[in-house]
């Protein structure tokens, strides 16, 4: 089958136009770096965009009380936090929510349970496991903004050229070794 020069030229033109449109489309952010999470007492907050420049790698763990895998990973998270809390280049943040919040419909932005009940449940979880690290609260809208689909989920970010890049997302419980490996990859 023979193609005319015009047909071949037209096909190449379409390929060029299509590839130009695809590469010029702005990339979608995986997580909302501007999203602000507040501590249980609302006295402090966490947002990727507000983290100090000395932090180069951060671990963000999403969890929920009454979640067996979340409970299983607590010893590893505590060990990691204790090991790295004095390392000024590494940060660890835990963000708690309710099991029902992750199941909320896309249009739901307010938790099905009152925020106060979720905070009380998170405080009990903190007390039960003697959690030493900073913790914040996530609403259904917060979980959607970070594309959290279940618990636990752990995000690993590294700072490159002044921007946070998602390097790894664990969609299940993590181990101490998983986290240390991610920090060491940065070096």
User: Is 183 or 1 the better-scoring residue by pLDDT?
Assistant: 183
Burial category of 123 from C-beta neighbours within 10 Å (exposed 0-12, middle 13-18, buried 19 and up): middle
> Which superfamily is assigned to 29-186 in CATH?
Glutaredoxin (3.40.30.10)
Check whether 105 has a pLDDT greater than 80.
no
Token pair belonging to 35: 């999203």
Q: What is the pLDDT of residues 78-91, one digit of tens each?
A: 999 999 999 999 99
The segment with the largest mean pLDDT, out of 17-21, 70-74, 114-118, is 70-74
**Taking the mean position of all CA atoms in its chain, how far away is CA 165?**
11
How confident is the model at residue 25, as a pLDDT?
46
Query: Could you tell me the CA-to-CA distances from 84 to 22, 52, 93, 114, 127 in Å, in that order?
Result: 41, 16, 12, 34, 22
Percent of the residues in the chain that have a pLDDT greater than 70, as a whole number: 79
Token pair belonging to 121: 């449940």
Distance from C-alpha of 70 to C-alpha of 162, rounded to nearest angstrom: 31
Q: Residue 40: count other Cβ atoms within 10 Å of its Cβ.
A: 17
Question: Taking Cα atoms as reference points, which of 132, 144, 128 lies closest to residue 94?
Answer: 132
How confident is the model at residue 108, as a pLDDT?
63
Secondary structure, 3-state, the chain: CCCCHHHHHHHHHHHHHHHHHHHHCCCCCCCCCCCCEEECCCCCEECHHHCCCCCCEEEEEEECCCCHHHHHHHHHHHHHHHHHCCCCCEEEEEEECCHHHHCCCCCCCCCCCCHHHHHHHHHHHHHHHCCCCCEEECCHHHHHHCCCCCCCEEEEEEEECCEEEEEEEECCCCCHHHHHHHHHHHC
How confident is the model at residue 185, as a pLDDT?
78
């Amino acid at each position: 089958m023979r193609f005319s020069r015009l047909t071949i030229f037209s096909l190449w033109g379409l390929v060029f136009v299509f590839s130009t449109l695809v590469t010029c489309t702005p990339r979608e952010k995986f997580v909302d770096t501007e999203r602000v999470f507040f501590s249980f007492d609302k006295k402090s907050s966490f947002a990727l965009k507000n983290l100090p420049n000395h932090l180069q790698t951060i671990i963000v763990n999403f969890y929920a009380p009454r979640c067996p895998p979340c409970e299983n990973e607590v010893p590893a998270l505590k060990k990691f936090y204790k090991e790295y809390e004095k390392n000024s280049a590494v940060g660890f943040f835990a963000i708690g929510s309710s099991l029902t919040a992750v199941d909320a419909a896309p249009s739901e932005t307010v938790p099905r349970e009152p925020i106060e009940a979720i905070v009380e449940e998170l405080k009990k979880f903190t007390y039960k496991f003697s959690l030493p690290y900073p913790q914040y609260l996530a609403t259904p809208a917060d979980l959607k903004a970070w594309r959290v689909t279940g618990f636990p989920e752990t995000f690993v970010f590294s700072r490159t050229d002044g921007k946070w890049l998602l390097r790894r997302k664990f969609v299940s419980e993590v181990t101490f070794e998983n986290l240390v490996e991610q920090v060491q990859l940065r070096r």
